[in-house]
Amino acid sequence: MTKLEKLYSIIENSRDLGVRLNKEVLQQVEELEENIIKEEILPA
């Protein structure tokens, strides 16, 4: 499982369990997603 898949899994599992992610967490997730794409996906 790639880092990006793990990140998406965390988000999905949180939603499935009824855990609400606040704006700060969602912003961190978005930044991490962008970094993973820039560092691991685009160079390939």
pLDDT per position as a tens digit, 1-44: 799 999 999 999 999 999 999 999 999 999 999 999 999 888 87
Q: Going by C-beta distance under 8 Å and a sequence separation of 6 or more, which residues neighbour residue 15?
A: none
pLDDT of residue 16: 97
Q: How many domains, the chain?
A: 1
Containing structural domain, residue 7: 3-41
Cβ atoms of residues 7 and 35 within 8 Å: no
Question: What pLDDT score was predicted for residue 40?
Answer: 87
Buried b vs exposed e over 5-30: b needs ≥16 C-beta within 10 Å?
Answer: eeeeeebeeeeeeeeeeeeeeeeebe
